[in-house]
Amino acid sequence: MPKDFSRFEEHIGIEFKDKTLLRQAFTHRSYLNENKEAGFTDNERLEFLGDAVLQLAVTDHLFTLYPATSEGDLTSFRSALVNTQTLSTLAASIGMNDFLLLSHGERKDTGRARTIILADAFEALIGALYLDQGFSVAERFIAQKIFPLVAGVVAGKAWLDAKSRFQEAAQEHTSITPTYKTLKESGPDHNRIFTIGVYLGKELIASGEGVSKQEAEQEAAQKALTARGWD
């Protein structure tokens, strides 16, 4: 059954001039693999554009909000605000999951792969907003959804590098430096998912997944901090 994207427009309070842009923002590559006659394209180019718009809007906001903060800390703040988990959670909160155009196989997957798909779709939506209505509207949308998270991220120290924190804690409590090992690689070449384990000596403490080894290592370190009660 065709998706009624007008319901999504009503939900976010924005009506698109070009409806094809909105549909494209929700179209995953896998859907077109099963529907080659669809006559439209996937959301990967919009995601690329939306990522740049999102980075600029968040960077400008943080630069203005924290005039005395170093470049390194501002970068960490931004990373915590635009990471896969944050964007996926925001996408789910505005109902994007109900409108995704996916293959039958992807529709059944509700794990890490869906998290990545939702985060990518959120960036694609921002890209579509930018093309359809300009930077000011896209920035306003970002301000509504992401800027309210800034204070909590900064106060809760969610921006700190999990690998660094786990290494410091591990050396303090055990005098052992953590090591990381790739446990699994899955998915097609254009959308690899890495599973990384973090070890203290020969003991596997936790594992994490991500679209890059760096992201998977960060998730593994964060889980390890929680598992050991060092967070």
Which amino acids are annotated catalytic? Answer: 51, 123
99, 196 contact by CB (below 8 A) = no
What angle in degrees, to the nearest 10, is found between the helix axes of 135-145 and 44-65? 70
Helix 44-65 vs helix 71-81: angle between axes, to the nearest 10 degrees? 130
The answer to whether 158 touches 80, Cβ cutoff 8 Å, is yes
